[in-house]
Amino acid sequence: MSKEPTKPSDSLVQQLLTERRELKIAVERLKLDLADAQAGASGGDPKSSREVGELKEEVERLRYQLASARAELTQLREERDHLRSGIEKALTQLNAGEEG
């Protein structure tokens, strides 16, 4: 009694070939994505490098504006406090004059 080895069905073979093909495609896509990511990380894209430089300049400009605004705010607060002090002093003198 000899048994003939059972052959996988044609549909199973086709299914495995299709899966193999899809996996190969996925591997190639991942390789391309990895290459793109590595190129981006190493500064391979001059457009991105230029954009990063422009953004850094914009950040510096905004930091300067913020520092200037803070300095102006401090100056305005000092002037306000000085004026308030003068007004309070004048009111004290007026009240003292009315009482006397």
Full pLDDT tens readout for the chain, 100 residues:
455 556 667 787 888 888 999 898 988 888 888 888 877 776 556 677 788 889 999 999 999 999 999 999 999 999 999 999 999 999 999 999 888 6
Residues 6+ positions from 17 with CB-CB distance below 8 Å? none
Q: Locate 74 and state its tokens.
A: 């401090």
Provide the residue type at 50 as one letter.
R
* pTM score, whole prediction: 0.47
